[in-house]
Structure 1
Amino acid sequence: MVDLRNGSTVTEFILVGFEQSSSSTRALLFALFLALYSLAMAMNGLIIFITWTDPRLNSPMYFFLGHLSFLDVCFITTTIPQMLIHLVVKNHTVSFASCLTQMYLVFGVGVAECILLAFMAYDRYVAICHPLSYAHIMSRQVCVRLVSTAWFFGLINGILLDYMTFRGPFCRDNHIENFFCEAPIVIALSCGDPQFSLKMIFADAIVVLLSPMVLIVISYARILASILGRTSSSGRGKTFSTCASHLTVVIFFYTSAMFSYMNPRSTHGPDKDKPFSLLYTIITPMCNPIIYSFRNKEMKGAMVRALGRTSLAQAESI
């Protein structure tokens, strides 16, 4: 049956995912990923709640952290629930439109997170290197504009990458060797020459991933120079602790994303793609709130206060 809207004979895709695994393995994976997804949603949801309601966290750093957690919630929700369903049902088909929409959301939210991580590094630079001007430089209006910029470029970039992925006809195999619609794998299924689309996505990845990375490197290079110039060892330790959480998140996210979108397809395969896909679609969003919470006394205190208020409210309602 020919779909005239996209000029191809493929109207749906089949997400292979973990289809080749035994039923017992799929059951174990379902339990594991459901636990990880639940933990990620709970932790990120708690961070969103406390950064938006606790007056003691009324600073640009926590404003950005709240939006990072919101992006993580959006990111994992676009892929993991579908994967969980496919682990327990035999029908792994997704429509052409569903695949396109999922890819757009993954691209849009992923790019927005890349840019937001760069803005968070800049925020740390201003706070450490220009503390007296910090409140003026990183005002509420500036923070809102930076977050809006991240979302804007993410959503616009998603349109471009979606177009480059689905511009050619699809009339070959419709089996996607992953648990979600990932662009390089989908492009490889196109009937036409996929090289142009792959090169465009590679070029886009260079801009989207390396440009924020440059800002991150410059920010932390200046932070390091400022830290080493201080005489107080306690001040150095506190500053290093503040920056370590953000750097850890950056390394997790950028490593997996760069492998997926900046490597030649000849070096890829299902055994290599799935682990990295899992890393940046569920492991990183789950680790982000844990990393920030365990290394930040203010976050720990806010979580204890939030959980304490919840327990008190439950006790009063009984």
Structure 2
Amino acid sequence: MPSADLTLAECRAYRPELPLPDGFDEFWAKTLGGAPHGGSPDRPRFERVDNGLVQVRTYDVSVPGYDGRPVRGWLRMPAESTGPLGCVVEFLGYGRGRGLAHEQLMWACAGYAHLVMDTRGQGWSAATGDTPDTHPGSAGTVPGFLTRGIEDPATHYYRRVFTDAVRCVEAVRAHPEVDPSRIVVTGVSQGGGIALAVAGLVPGLAGVMPDVPFLCNIPRAARIAAAPPYTEVASYLQLYRDRTASVFRTLSYFDAAQHATRATAPALFSIAMMDEVCPPSTCFTAYNRYAGPKDVRVYEFNGHEGGAEYHRAEQLAWVRSLFAGLPTGRAVHP
């Protein structure tokens, strides 16, 4: 389908006014302040499970997330690995759960630790133990997650999700088999937006790989995206016609294009020019505002699937090169 968004040349030059909301940094400092696990007496738990595989170990993960409530995940490692490993922390796309113990083996097969975070409220398999979202304000007027708690930044759904993601990075950084100086965060769509937010909130990351990222320049996306999830915002505002300003104020605290201005780790983006879910101009908003070293792979004739396995090959090469240039060790250098 032909692109209904800006041309590639226009996207590369696109730098819209996107005012930072009042108290943005203070809001996140307060949200993430205090004990690393929200004051919870629990600590991250990694329990090995039988995944039926010989070459990859899988651990069932539980990390105290927002308000100390448990967030589930999988940690996968090469079966015979020794010494601290570089680690890829992955956040998932909209509506996806962590899946089963034997899935998503690419990063472990490449020789890295790989932590997959289950997104609260979006897990699909009770058999694997998903992560519920039972916080007050977790219900929404419009189906989906983007408008949950949208009346105030303090109650918004992504405040909890971003905190969960930060806590998962902290947990794996402290794992004895992981090199804390070699942690890369990544994700597709929603996961890419979460990765960008984490890159702005967590110092000392080795890299970030946002893949066709969601949650970027949300005001524009809500007006031009042809497919969900951004259409949830439009549906909400069809019901509440007087709340446009307050809705976009709330969402500005969770806009990955704002967090990108705080991120300094090297970044590899992917953007698809025929993407009707995450329009390319919104993704380029985050890319053009990104404060650290950056590169982008553009898939001119693809939709939200982006580069798919072609881009996985790009990511494998990028991470290999990135880690090769870093000293090993347990010290973290923010």
- Name the structure, 1 or 2, with higher relative contact order (CA <8 Å, separation 6+): 1
TM-score (normalised: structure 2): 0.28
Bigger proportion of residues as helix: 1
Q: Based on CA coordinates, which of the two structures has the bigger radius of gyration?
A: 1
Which is strand-richer, 1 or 2? 2
